[in-house]
Amino acid sequence: MITSNSKVRQPVYAVTDENQMLRYGIWAYLLLLIFEGALRKWVFPSLATPLLVIRDPLALWLVISTWQRGLLPANLYLAGMTTIGVVGIFTASLLGHGNILVALYGARIFLCHFPLIFVIGRIFNREDVEKLGEFLLWIAIPMAVLIALQFYSPQSAWVNRGIGGDMEGAGFSGAMGYFRPPGTFSFTNGTTLFFGLVASYIFYFWTNPSNINRIILIGATMGLLLAIPLSISRSLFFQVVVSLLFTIIAISRKPKYLTQLIIACFGITALMASLSQTALFQTATEVFTARFDSANKVEGGLEGVLIDRYLGGMVGALNTSSELPFFGHGIGMGTNVGSKLLTEGFAFLISEGEWGRLIGELGAFMGITVIFLRLGLCMKVALACYHKLTQGDLLPWLLLSFGLLILPQGQWAQPTSLGFCTLVAGIIIASLRAPDKD
Hey, what amino acid is at 296? Answer: N
For 290-322, b where at least 16 C-beta lie within 10 A, e where not — what string? ebbeeeeeebeeeeebeeebeebbbebbbeebe
* Chain segment 202-232, per-residue pLDDT in tens: 999 988 888 899 999 999 999 999 999 998 8
CA distance 335 to 378: 23
* Chain segment 47-102, per-residue pLDDT in tens: 988 899 999 999 999 999 999 999 988 899 999 999 999 999 999 999 988 899 99
Q: What percent of the chain has pLDDT over 90?
A: 52
Across 120-124, 277-281, 354-358, 411-415, least confident range: 277-281
pLDDT of residue 187: 87
Judged by DSSP in three states, 173 sits in: strand
pLDDT of residue 9: 39
Sorting pLDDT into bands at 50, 70 and 90, what band is 313? Answer: low
Torsion sign, CA atoms 361, 362, 364, 366: negative
pTM of the model: 0.89
* Chain segment 5-60, per-residue pLDDT in tens: 444 333 444 456 678 899 999 999 999 999 999 999 999 988 988 899 999 999 99
Dmax (CA) of the chain: 76
pLDDT of residue 171: 66
CA distance 281 to 290: 14
pLDDT of residue 88: 95
CA atoms within 13 A on the CB side of 168: 4
